[in-house]
Amino acid sequence: MDKAKISRLLTLSLISIICFAFKYFFIFHFDISFKFFRFGLITSVIAYLTLIYDTGNSFKSHGAYNRLFLYFGIPIVYFFLYFKLVIYRCYKKYGKLIPIVVAVFLVFLIFKINTNYYCSCDYWDKGFKNSKIDNDVSCKLEKPRVCYEIIFDNVFDAIFYSKDDCKNRRNDDPEIVKEYTKLKSITKVAYPRVEKWEHTHTCNYYYYRDSVMKQVFNLDDPNKPEKLKKLNEVYVDFTVAENPQVNIELKKDEELIKNRDRIFQDNIKKEKVIFKNVLFFFIDSMSRNHFKRKLPRVYE
């Protein structure tokens, strides 16, 4: 229970008290239907939680996931409650036939889940480009018994249900890239270095994206300074015959290397153990945010 959690708890408690006070004031004073008021209150609370309280624009929270639960989770729960009522009414009307149908469906569902359950970690040791984890070394990686992300794969994937395809989106179309970047021509589109950007850039996803798009440039543009081109690490080559190719060329920062080496040597003298370098790979924006949120000192 840190200060931030206590502060949120007090805020939610105060909001709850005010809501209850208003509820009973409206019900008794204006004789408003309780069901109507309850619906309005629930709608207001959901709007507050998803549009004001937690919008997902910072490292501390991911409002999109709250919206997924509130906008989709709650209706699904109500659907199952209503479905249970329908089953009960069908049972009253048709007798034992309904329980038999439900039982067959449940057996099939359990069989399907069990199949995924026991086979969920079959591909656990496989990596990118047909690589495989070598578990014969002294420091072994323990294989998990169940991989839940495989069992529930595609359950919350809207693209899976809509049968969408990334190829239809044409992100590799130069004309679309022109529209987003405002470049007059598209050849080797270079992305800016962002490691020294202000914190505000990384807090807001939309601001970050727009800032990146405004600062992209063609690597073969003669008007761009050579110093800027030499610092670039990532560019997309649209000049190749087939699909555009992403090229990553990590650059050595000699000043940073000297600084890290000095720190390392100082720590050896103080009999402290420190890694020379730690390289982090993030899968998506959420993994980066989650890492920074849960391990702030390591991130620092």
Tens-digit pLDDT profile for residues 71-99: 777 788 888 888 888 888 887 777 777 77
pLDDT (tens digit per residue) in 258-283? 988 888 888 888 877 666 567 777 66
Residue 297 has a pLDDT of 82
Query: How far apart are alpha carbons 263 and 255 in whole angstroms?
Result: 13
**Would the pLDDT of 218 be above 90?**
yes
Which one is predicted more confidently, 231 or 54? 231
Supply the mean pLDDT for the chain.
77
Give me the pLDDT at residue 256, please. Answer: 83
Residue 66, pLDDT > 70, answer no
pTM for this one? Answer: 0.46
Position 236 confidence tier, pLDDT thresholds 50, 70, 90: very high
* pLDDT tens-digit readout, 117-153: 778 888 888 877 778 887 777 777 788 888 877 777 7
- The pair phi, psi for residue 88, each rounded to 5°, is -65, -40
What are residue 247's DSSP bridge partners? 235
pLDDT confidence of residue 190: 93
pLDDT at 193: 85
Q: Where are the domains of the chain?
A: 171-250, 254-299
Burial (0-12, 13-18, 19+ Cβ within 10 Å), 156: exposed
**Which sign, positive or negative, has the C-alpha torsion 260, 263, 267, 268?**
positive
Would the pLDDT of 235 be above 70? Answer: yes
Element (H, E) at 248: strand 245-248
Is the predicted pLDDT of residue 47 greater than 70, yes or no?
yes
Max avg pLDDT among 152-161, 183-192, 284-293: 183-192
The arithmetic mean of pLDDT across residues 193-197, rounded, is 78
Across the range 206-213, mean pLDDT stands at 75
Instruction: Please check whether residue 148 is in contact with residue 118, taking contact to mean a CB–CB distance below 8 angstroms.
Output: no
